[in-house]
Amino acid sequence: MFGRKKRDDGRPDTGQDKNAEYFYQAGREQTRNNEYDKAIESFSRAIELNPEDYDTYYWRGGCYHDEGEYDRAIADYDRAIELKPDYATAYYWRGDCYRNKGEHDLAIADYDRAIELRPDYAAAYRWRGDCYRNKGEYDRAMADIFRAIELRPDYADAYYWRGGCYHDEGEYDLAIADYDRVIELKPDYADAYYWRGDCYRNKDEYDLAIADFSRAVELRPDYADTYYWRGICYFNKGEYDLAITDFSRAVELKPDYTDAYYRRGQTYFKTLNYTRALENFDDVIGLDPCHANAWLFRGRIYGGDTMIRIADILDKNPAQVDIDYDKAILCFNKALEFSPNPVGVLFARAQMFSRKGDFDRELEDCNAILAVDPSNSTAILEKRRCYVNKDEYDRAVEDLSAVIDKDPANAEAWYNRARVWEDLGENELALADYQEAVKQDPAFTEGYVALGDLYEKLGKHGKAAAAYEAAVRQSKA
């Protein structure tokens, strides 16, 4: 029924061997039909009847491999290799089991032996290269993948993985060329479109990225990551409705997709839909209570900072969330617990303390920022405002002078000290500092505007006009 298997061990056939052969061939047929449980049963029966047949162990190991039972597969490949020490494909597939278990050194040892026995074994080079890639040994990975392609110029998977190595190294044009070749060989290779799209995304070529992600979606409509990254591209293009649609599809396919909820929340935030933004940031925190940025955005919404900056827009789209500085501060406190980069959170909290009139705590946060980043111009500006609000002009001058002494090229510090001098009516000192600010940073548009304003106030109209012209030039640069 199934045909005879060629024997090469020199033993005579027996009736028991014939029965073993029957079950062996039955297992092969069941394997072809993906009936792995039945195939394992048949191969096991064949082994009972003929425990010395290396091919039967090999094929049963293949069923265990395809079922993801790698330890049982390894045991069968061990036995096949024991019976036939030059069994190249058994070494190859045992290596693949180790690779799938993340045991890359053992996998490499098996691929080495497979290649020693079959020097033209392209697949062994390809997967050994993958192990080297996972170990961070990119030069060895690339050498293996180049060899695989040399042996099989139509080996789509090898081009795909070489493209992956180029992608990981930021060599996006080389990666794209390999993914092009994959798609030429296999036009329905969804992952190749996905990763080529990711290369274009990293190159900020969003339209090309969207085209590739869209093709990947056609071929694999249930892959949440493709929708997510296409949504990122739409977001970066300012096409927020399309971004929201893609992020929504991503969380529909993967309900615990934290990043998709977060990005959808960001998009709602960007489009001033603060109620929906909060819902999404709440979802993020429900999935990951340590998500610093979700806490930060919640604080920004309750604190109203963005609403204030774009108040003219909010006249048409009134805020849906009540301003609550205390709730905002609690959110910022949580963000600070988890944020690896606390500067932005500290500044946001400092603004909340300022709005509450708690200038001492505002100063504490500004000082905390400057301890991490001594030249942070935003903190310097906020600290100056804080001292001015407390009527402590001398301390503002003292603080800014210390920054200038430490970093004479800090244009923001010169500018902010000039603002304090101007508040004190020390116009000549203010002029000198504004002039120094634009000298240190010739592209400092705001510095030219302030200088022009002061010249205008002092009746020096020609100099004011020159300063304004410089500001205009810089704004167009």
Kindly state whether residue 445 falls inside one of the protein's structural domains: no
Digit-coded pLDDT (tens) for 135-144: 989 889 999 9
Give pLDDT < 50 ranges for the chain: 1-12, 14-15, 306-314, 316-317
Return the structure tokens found at 314. Answer: 């909010």
Please check whether residue 329 is in contact with residue 358, taking contact to mean a CB–CB distance below 8 angstroms.
Answer: no
Contacts of residue 298, defined as CB under 8 A and 6 or more positions apart, other chains included, come to: 278, 281, 282, 285, 328, 331
In degrees, rounded to 5, the angle at the alpha carbon of residue 91 between the alpha carbons of residues 87 and 96 is 145
Residue type, 394: D
Kindly state whether residue 26 falls inside one of the protein's structural domains: no
**pTM of structure:** 0.73
CATH of the domain at 226: 1.25.40.10
409/412 Cα distance (integer angstroms): 9
Kindly state whether residue 118 falls inside one of the protein's structural domains: no
Q: How many domains does the chain have?
A: 1
Question: Which one, of 265, 277, 199, 207, lies nearest residue 239 by Cα?
Answer: 207
Kindly state whether residue 307 falls inside one of the protein's structural domains: no
Phi, psi of 187 (to 5 degrees): -60, -15
Strand (E) or helix (H) holding 137:
none
Please check whether residue 182 is in contact with residue 188, taking contact to mean a CB–CB distance below 8 angstroms.
Answer: no
Give the per-residue pLDDT at 17.
Answer: 55
Kindly state whether residue 119 falls inside one of the protein's structural domains: no
DSSP states along 233-282: HHHHTT-HHHHHHHHHHHHHH-TT-HHHHHHHHHHHHHTT-HHHHHHHHH
379/377 Cα distance (integer angstroms): 5
Digit-coded pLDDT (tens) for 114-134: 999 999 999 999 999 999 989
* 3-state DSSP assignment of residue 3: coil
Return the structure tokens found at 346. Answer: 């500290």
**Phi-psi domain of 223 (left: phi exceeds 0; alpha: psi -120 through 50; beta: other):** beta
Kindly state whether residue 243 falls inside one of the protein's structural domains: yes
Question: Which one, of 239, 252, 306, 312, lies nearest residue 277 by Cα?
Answer: 306
Kindly state whether residue 221 falls inside one of the protein's structural domains: yes
Range of the domain at 231: 155-255
For 245, counting Cβ atoms within 10 Å of its Cβ (0-12 exposed, 13-18 middle, 19+ buried), the class is middle
Kindly state whether residue 241 falls inside one of the protein's structural domains: yes
Please check whether residue 214 is in contact with residue 230, taking contact to mean a CB–CB distance below 8 angstroms.
Answer: yes
